[in-house]
């Protein structure tokens, strides 16, 4: 039997500033609400449907945390000042997010 090939996974990158940061290698992480099924080594497409931009990469690291326990390093790498700032910022996108909610931290490397 042939190996099952997992589907290509995608991450929405919103706005030209974030896209520029990805292209320049300054953005290489995203913190998302919920437990997302990303796997290290698998390909990932980063995209914006508004500006018609995309980039290909590979997932390099995946971690799961409670939103109130995101490490400061991950929060800073994603553009927040601290883990507390990350929680406040993420609530703009995910209003029902609580400190007990799970989040997924995804890191990637562009090809």
Q: Which residue has the tokens 């995910």?
A: 94
Spatial separation of the C-alpha atoms in residues 111 and 108, rounded to whole Å: 10
pLDDT of 110 over the 80 cut: yes
| Two structure tokens written together for 16 | 């030209």
pLDDT of 111 over the 90 cut: no
Which residues partner with 51 through β-bridges?
Answer: none
Instruction: Express each pLDDT in 21-60 by its tens digit.
Output: 999 999 999 999 999 999 999 999 999 888 889 999 999 9
Q: State residue 16's pLDDT score.
A: 86
How many alpha carbons lie under 13 Å from residue 97 in its C-beta half-sphere? Answer: 24
User: DSSP characters for 1-61?
Assistant: -PPPPPPPEEEE--SHHHHHHHHTTS--EEEEES-----TT-EEEEEETTTTEEEEEEEEE
Instruction: Taking residues 82-94, report their average pLDDT.
Output: 95
> Could you tell me the pLDDT band of residue 15, with boundaries at 50, 70 and 90?
confident
pTM of the model: 0.91
Structural domains of the chain ordered from first start: 9-110 (3.10.400.10)
Q: State residue 73's pLDDT score.
A: 97
């Amino acid at each position: 039997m042939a190996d099952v090939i997992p589907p290509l996974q995608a991450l929405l990158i919103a706005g030209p500033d974030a896209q520029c940061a990805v292209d320049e290698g300054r953005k290489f992480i995203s913190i998302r609400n919920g437990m997302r099924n990303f796997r290290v080594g698998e390909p990932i497409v980063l995209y914006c449907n508004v500006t018609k931009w995309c980039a290909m990469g590979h997932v390099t690291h995946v971690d799961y945390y409670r939103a109130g326990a995101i490490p400061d390093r991950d929060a800073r790498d994603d553009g927040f000042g601290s883990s507390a700032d990350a929680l406040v910022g993420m609530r703009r996108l995910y209003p029902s997010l609580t400190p007990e909610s799970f989040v997924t931290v995804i890191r990637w490397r562009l090809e």
